[in-house]
Each structure stands twice: as C-alpha cells, then as structure tokens.
C-alpha cells in the first residue's frame, strides 16, 4: 500500500504576508464589532446615569438630609420597633467542640404585635445558652446551617409562645 502523503507531493507553506493580512482583517472586524456594541450599550448607560442624578437632586431638595447636612443613604427607614422588629445584641460565645472555635450571631426578631423587650432579652440568653452546646461538626455546610436556623427558630417559638413570627439572621461568623 502506498503512503498517502508521499503521493500528494510536497506541502505548500503559507505566506507570512497572508497570515499578517488575515490577522489585520480580523482585528479590524473585531474593533468594528466592539464599537457597534459600545454605541448600542452606551446610550442606556447615559440614560441610567441621568436618572440617578435626577433622583439624587430630588432627594437633596427634600428630607434626604441628615442633621449634619449630608445626604442620607438608601431608602428612608421607619423605626424598627414600630414595625414590630427588634434587633438583639450580638451573641458571641465559644462552641462546645472544639472549644477554641468562637461564633458570633446577630439576629432580629419579628413580633406579632407590640415588641416585648423583656421577652427579647430572655430569648437572647436562651440563644446564647444553646449556641454553647453546638459543635462545629453540627453546623458545617449549608445543611448544617439550615438545621441550626430551624433549631433556633424552634427555641424562639417555645420561649415566646407564638408571639415572635420570624427570626431574621443578620450575621453569622465562626472563627
């Protein structure tokens, strides 16, 4: 059987000028496409910036200023107690195992009706006592964190006798 490359003859080498011309052509096409996309997107960005500036100016005219004359950030906030929400002091304690690991937990409670600060303090102490019994292996991973949230919610439900509707986790750090 004959060798196929030997029958075809010597291969022709590509000219370096042709390669350079092809690369230059692709560069021009890529630059043109980038320019086209940029002109299509840029007007949308300009409109968004103009709307943001208009909103800031409108906010600056009204009640958006704080006592020291600086503009407030974000949406106007209503007092949390009026909404039935109270943020507990951070719970910082060591875990049961390994005892060198520390946990910091910040939660807020959503009350059904009026806020009860005495009950909130009792719940805070209960959460701290519970966190001291938890081991690091119990709260590893997303499933462990979900179990921890469920356990804390259950403890709050038992302690509050249904007066707390939600437990909002603000921060959770393990060191």
As given in the structure block, the two tokens for residue 58 are 């409108």
Residue 108's pLDDT is 92
CA distance linking residue 145 with residue 150, whole number of Å: 9
Domains recognised in the chain with CATH numbers: 14-76 (no CATH), 85-174 (3.30.479.30)
Q: Scanning the structure block, which residue is given the tokens 């009350």?
A: 111
Calculate the dihedral angle through the C-alpha atoms of 54, 55, 60, 63, rounding to the nearest 10 degrees: 150
Taking 50 as the pLDDT cut, the residues of the chain under it are 64, 75
CA distance linking residue 101 with residue 93, whole number of Å: 9
Between β-strands 164-174 and 91-94, what pairing exists: parallel, antiparallel or unpaired?
Answer: unpaired
* H or E, element range at 173: strand 164-174
Quickly count: other Cβ atoms within 10 Å of residue 11's Cβ.
7
């Amino acid at each position: 059987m004959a060798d196929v490359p030997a029958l075809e003859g010597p291969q022709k080498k590509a000219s370096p000028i042709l390669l350079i011309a092809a690369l230059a052509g692709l560069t021009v096409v890529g630059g043109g496409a980038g320019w086209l996309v940029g002109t299509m997107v840029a007007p949308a960005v300009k409109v968004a910036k103009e709307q943001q500036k208009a909103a800031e100016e409108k906010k600056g005219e009204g009640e958006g200023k704080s006592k020291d004359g600086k503009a407030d950030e974000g949406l106007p906030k209503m007092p949390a107690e009026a909404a039935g929400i109270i943020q507990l002091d951070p719970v910082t304690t060591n875990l049961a195992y390994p005892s060198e690991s520390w946990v910091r937990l910040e939660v807020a409670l959503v009350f059904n009706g009026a806020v009860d600060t005495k009950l909130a303090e009792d719940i805070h102490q209960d959460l701290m006592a519970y966190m001291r019994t938890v081991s690091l292996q119990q709260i590893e991973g997303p499933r462990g964190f979900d179990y921890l949230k469920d356990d804390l919610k259950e403890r709050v439900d038992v302690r509050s006798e249904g007066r707390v509707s939600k437990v909002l986790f603000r921060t959770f750090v393990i060191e």
